[in-house]
Amino acid sequence: MLARCAAILVATLAVGTFGATMTARADSPTCEKYGDMGNCIIWAASGGTPGGGSRGGSPGRGTAPGLGGGDGSGWEGSNVMQFEGVTCRVTSALVPSPPKGDPIWSGHDTGAIYKCLIAGNDFNGDRVLLFWAAAPAAPPPPDPRVLARQAMNAMRLKAVNIGIVPEPRPGSIGIIGLPTWMWVDGPADNTWGPITRTASAGGFTVRATAEVKKVVWDMGDGTQVVCFTKGTPYADSFGRQSSPDCGHTYTRQGLYAVTATSYWSVTWAGVGESGVIPLDLARTTNITMGESQVINQ
């Protein structure tokens, strides 16, 4: 649903500390489209007839305000609008504000007087357009899914580092029929979890937590081993024992590409919603398996 941002511009010409300062009157602008972060990206208003401005005469009317970067706070921020054929950038409310009896208030006693900066050039200095605006309507809240993705991206999640015996290095050969051990080598918060990050926009925050739920080991011989733990690192003292939680036994010699795929679950909550983002990341290494008599030769 489109949020409404009412504003009425009232006109006279004045000179202030910002160079030439203008005041003007225009139709109420409307925010026609909000971005993912809740900032207005398209303003629109009914077209008007250019008026006297600094030339005197009847008050001018604002044309359609253009694209605005904004900071999610309605009129304030870096929203850009068009007035009498020139572009100005709405910067902030005027402080201190003119007395309520000043004509620029047009009889209003609520809202605020805002500044819209008109950049100068080689012939004219900067000018400031002053206008009255009602309190900007609050923009819609940001999409929590977008914030959840931002929080997840901030985690810099990675695939697990592979720990395996036989070792994946030249000259290291495992013996078929003996246990192969697999484990997560040097688990860290961004390779195993849990890890938590937040992302915020427009006064709203989404909190996300990620952790690995399982690692699926593709052993390269048509076998997959599913491990729900980090696995146990092998030590020489284990001898020919099988891994207690994550292992495999090869029956044929050869070179095998072993791929470990870690399945992450990223749970998030915020802005009145919650959800889960699944993510899988993989890493591959190569090991060599041989027969004992070949190794002895």
Let me know if residue 138 belongs to a domain: no
Residues whose CB falls within 8 Å of the CB of residue 277, separated by 6 or more in sequence, listed in order: 148, 149, 152, 208, 265, 266, 268
CA–CA dist 257, 273 (Å, integer): 42
159 and 292 both lie in a single domain: yes
**74 and 122 co-located in one domain:** yes
- For residues 161 and 54, membership in a common domain is answered with no
Domain membership of residue 1 (yes or no) is no
Output the tens digit of pLDDT for each of the chain's 297 residues: 323 333 333 332 232 333 344 444 444 445 555 555 555 444 443 333 222 232 222 222 222 232 233 333 334 444 666 655 667 777 777 788 888 888 888 788 888 887 777 776 667 677 777 778 776 556 678 899 999 999 999 999 999 999 999 998 888 899 999 999 999 999 999 999 999 999 999 889 999 999 999 999 999 999 999 999 999 999 999 999 999 999 999 999 999 999 999 999 999 999 999 999 999 999 999 999 998 765 444
Query: Rounded to whole angstroms, what are the CA distances from 74 to 32, 81, 181, 221, 260?
Result: 12, 13, 59, 60, 48
Q: Could you give the number of structural domains in the chain?
A: 2
Domain limits for position 118: 7-133
The contacts of residue 66 (CB under 8 Å, 6+ apart) are: 43, 80, 81, 82, 87
* The domain boundary residue, chosen from 133, 156, 181: 133
The structure tokens listed for 294 are 């070949």
Residue by residue, DSSP assigns 237-275 as GGTTPPPSSSEEE--S-EEEEEEEEEEEEEEEEETTEEE
| DSSP-assigned beta bridge partners for residue 226 | 216
Residue 160: its H or E element: none
126 and 220 in a single domain? The answer is no
Q: Are 227 and 247 in contact (CB under 8 A)?
A: no
Domain membership of residue 70 (yes or no) is yes
